[in-house]
Chains A and B, each alone.
Chain A
Amino acid sequence: MELNTFENLISKRDGDSPETPKTGTAGSKTPAPKALTKVETRNLDFYYGPLQALFGISMVMPEKSVTALIGPSGCGKSTYLRTLNRMNDIIEGTRITGDILVDNEDIYASQVDVVELRKKVGMVFQKSNPFPKSIYDNVAFGPRIGGIKGKSQLDEIVHRTLKQAAIWDEVKDRLNSSALALSGGQQQRLCIARTLATNPEVILMDEPASALDPASTSRIEDLIFELKKDYTIIIVTHNMQQAARVSDCTAFFFQGRLIEFGTTKSLFTTPREKQTEDYITGRFG
């Protein structure tokens, strides 16, 4: 039986083989991956109080790639995403079992500093949430709290990340005006720039384009495509076309379980599970 391993995913990424990896529902064990694994979860269970939201999620996300998490509302994909930078810690009464490894280190280990983790694993939210401050201050906030004080250094970071987020040309003349005056799509790209400014290695995106018009959505998608050259991106999306367009691997979640995980191409063309097929063909969800 072919396991849902990282090597499988990589080899299937170019889609030259019609074979698809087996699903990971049974919480398949991954042999210690070599160089390219960035994020990995093993047998991850998650509880909101007495309510279990995730059941034995085991997944491996390769470095410098885009992994899309799809599934109907309430399937646990956002919850899963938030466990990866421990944003669920904020919610009272949550509990987690299993392992989450970033660069092969358990991020829930007691010696891990969650502040440092979140600098390394950045996050872009569904609804753009710029600070009620200037565009410049929004981007510079992360570096500033990290201790960077020099004006020229901050200028450089702001310039570079706004360019990276493909919003520089639109805002370069009004860096000191309020970020709240930007359009929804611009705000979201500003939030991406703000995330990039702390030099993350992994970027989590929770439906980053769901509140945007098609033009802004397509800009965000182009941006994701650019960013994956340097960052590992994990994106939750409701939009199947979006998942198909931007991602290398896709995971299908249903009722808190990982139903199927494979390269995007194989999952969309030859899904192994009936539920996956039903979902991507729009029969439910």
Chain B
Amino acid sequence: MSDPYYQRLQRRHLTSKIFAGVCLISTWFGLVVLAVLMTGLVLKATGTWDPTSTGAAKATENWLTPTLLTHQISADPEKAGMIASIWGTTWLILMTAVMSVPMGVGAAIYLEEYARENILTRFIRLNISNLAGVPSIVFGILGLTAFVRMFGMFSEASAIGIPMGIGMLKVPLPFGKTLISGALTLSLLILPIVIIASQEALRSVPQSIRHAALAIGATKWQTIWYQVLPASLPGIMTGVILALSRAIGETAPIIVVGAVSFISFNPGYLESPTDLVSDPNVILQIPASPYTVMPLQIYNWVLNSPDPEFKNVASAAIVVLLTILLLMNGMAVYIRNHFSKRLNW
């Protein structure tokens, strides 16, 4: 075995094994950290174990209770709930989705399917990528100026009513510290992500599909609407849901555009989803309502509460938040798999 080829072969095999090992460690590192974090949170939330307990706190109490999901905030940690922030997050994300998805997908379609390749479109693409990396606090400040205060165009607060069929949608001017401002700000924040994900999804549709449609006399619009968009839907949906997952977790811009720290009613005073059935025009109260969101609620319980027990309540709230996030991401994977089953190029 003095042949240099065989000596080198051994080395090549060794390198290959080392590389596989490094990749394996990288994979496990993230997973282990997440598992440790989750375990710690769940233990703390359920009162099984409190690593920071000094003995004074009741480390045996379970904070992950239905109370957390059904009650409003309270000075008593035993009675404290996060229902207002769950509703706040739900409405905020719904409104953000309604605003950002059509705009983001529309922009992506324009850039991928219509725009000609020139300096301007390259500049726009570069800018969108850059926007995706802008710190969220900057978007918060932008939202404060543009939506909450509207550049000070309105010296005194006024409002306009928009007839909506089931009633009047009252929109304050400037928007102020309402769900509208929050949703618009988050929309700006996730728009670059939605655009980039949608562009990738559109680009992954084989060019031959477009040619096939055009060659049998489809217009550009028919080609996009009936063939390209359906084929790229799984990718777009995945991108949108991941972007919305990010929006759920955003705290900084939401603080800036004025989610209220202590609020003890649901947006639009909506007590349960059944209210929407009995009195549908309640939904028109929601956009102009003050609100709070889950990350902000958690932040407040951790930092601004006098009773140290609230730190445990916060752990339980984090478990709720992460569970909702996990469900959303699971949905993204499910949707992608469901749609891509029919799409084996």
Contact, CB under 8 Å: A129 / B217: no
Chain B residues 212-270 with CB under 8 Å of chain A are: 212-219, 222, 226-227, 230-231
Query: Which residues of chain B have C-beta atoms less than 8 A from A145's C-beta?
Result: 216-219, 222, 226
Instruction: Kindly state whether residue A115 has any CB partner on chain B within 8 Å.
Output: yes
Contact, CB under 8 Å: B117 / A92: yes
Provide the bound-state CA to CA distance between A13 and B39, in Å: 83
Instruction: Kindly state whether residue B209 has any CB partner on chain A within 8 Å.
Output: yes
Contact, CB under 8 Å: A141 / B226: yes
Contact, CB under 8 Å: B211 / A125: yes
Contact, CB under 8 Å: B213 / A115: no
Instruction: Kindly state whether residue A127 has any CB partner on chain B within 8 Å.
Output: yes
Q: Closest A-chain residue to B215, C-beta based?
A: A123
Instruction: Kindly state whether residue B58 has any CB partner on chain A within 8 Å.
Output: no
Instruction: Kindly state whether residue A87 has any CB partner on chain B within 8 Å.
Output: yes
Chain B residues 68-88 with CB under 8 Å of chain A are: none
Query: Which residues of chain B have C-beta atoms less than 8 A from A123's C-beta?
Result: 215-216
Task: Write the nearest CB–CB distance from A80 to chain B, whole angstroms.
Answer: 16
Query: Which residues of chain A have C-beta atoms less than 8 A from B212's C-beta?
Result: 125, 129-131, 191, 194
Contact, CB under 8 Å: B217 / A131: no
Contact, CB under 8 Å: A194 / B216: yes
Q: Closest A-chain residue to B222, C-beta based?
A: A145
- B217 interface neighbour in A92, A118, A125, A133, Cβ under 8 Å: A118
Provide the bound-state CA to CA distance between A85 and B212, in Å: 12
Provide the bound-state CA to CA distance between A131 and B222, in Å: 13
Query: Which residues of chain B have C-beta atoms less than 8 A from A180's C-beta?
Result: 342-345
Task: Write the nearest CB–CB distance from B62 to chain A, whole angstroms.
Answer: 50
Contact, CB under 8 Å: B208 / A125: yes
Max count, chain A CB within 10 A of own CB: residue among B209, B216, B342? B216
A-B contact pairs, 28 of them (CB 8 A): A85-B215, A87-B211, A90-B214, A92-B117, A115-B217, A115-B218, A115-B219, A116-B217, A118-B217, A119-B216, A119-B217, A125-B212, A127-B208, A129-B206, A129-B211, A129-B212, A131-B231, A132-B342, A132-B343, A141-B216, A141-B226, A141-B227, A145-B226, A146-B217, A180-B343, A194-B212, A197-B216, A198-B217
Task: Write the nearest CB–CB distance from A124 to chain B, whole angstroms.
Answer: 8
Q: Closest B-chain residue to A198, C-beta based?
A: B216
Task: Write the nearest CB–CB distance from B221 to chain A, whole angstroms.
Answer: 10
Instruction: Kindly state whether residue B116 has any CB partner on chain A within 8 Å.
Output: yes
Give B contacts to A, CB under 8 Å.
116-117, 206, 208-219, 222, 226-227, 230-231, 342-345
Provide the bound-state CA to CA distance between A85 and B203, in Å: 25
Max count, chain B CB within 10 A of own CB: residue among A125, A127, A132? A132
Contact, CB under 8 Å: B217 / A178: no
How many chain A residues touch the partner (CB < 8 A)?
28
Query: Which residues of chain A have C-beta atoms less than 8 A from B342's C-beta?
Result: 132-133, 178, 180
Query: Which residues of chain A have C-beta atoms less than 8 A from B231's C-beta?
Result: 131-132
Q: Closest A-chain residue to B118, C-beta based?
A: A92
Contact, CB under 8 Å: B116 / A122: no
- B213 interface neighbour in A119, A127, A141, A178, Cβ under 8 Å: A141
Provide the bound-state CA to CA distance between A129 and B226, in Å: 15
Provide the bound-state CA to CA distance between A146 and B212, in Å: 15
Q: Closest B-chain residue to A127, C-beta based?
A: B208
Q: Closest A-chain residue to B116, C-beta based?
A: A92
Q: Contacts A92-B117, A178-B342 given; indicate if A131 touches B214 (C-beta within 8 A).
A: no
10 nearest A-B pairs in the assembled complex, by CB-CB distance? A119-B217, A129-B208, A123-B215, A142-B216, A129-B212, A118-B217, A132-B343, A145-B222, A198-B216, A115-B217
Query: Which residues of chain B have C-beta atoms less than 8 A from A146's C-beta?
Result: 217
Provide the bound-state CA to CA distance between A185 and B222, in Å: 27
Provide the bound-state CA to CA distance between A213 and B69, in Å: 63
Query: Which residues of chain A have C-beta atoms less than 8 A from B213's C-beta?
Result: 131, 141
Task: Write the nearest CB–CB distance from B116 to chain A, whole angstroms.
Answer: 6
Instruction: Kindly state whether residue A195 has any CB partner on chain B within 8 Å.
Output: yes
Contact, CB under 8 Å: A195 / B209: no
Provide the bound-state CA to CA distance between A88 and B206, in Å: 17
Q: Closest A-chain residue to B208, C-beta based?
A: A129
Query: Which residues of chain A have C-beta atoms less than 8 A from B209's C-beta?
Result: 129, 131-132
Provide the bound-state CA to CA distance between A125 and B208, in Å: 9
Q: Closest A-chain residue to B340, C-beta based?
A: A132
Contact, CB under 8 Å: A131 / B216: no
Query: Which residues of chain B have C-beta atoms less than 8 A from A198's C-beta?
Result: 216-217
Provide the bound-state CA to CA distance between A131 and B216, in Å: 12
Task: Write the nearest CB–CB distance from B340 to chain A, whole angstroms.
Answer: 10
Query: Which residues of chain B have C-beta atoms less than 8 A from A191's C-beta?
Result: 212
Query: Which residues of chain B have C-beta atoms less than 8 A from A131's C-beta?
Result: 209, 212-213, 227, 231
Contact with B along A134-160 (1 / 0, CB 8 A): 000000011001100000000000000
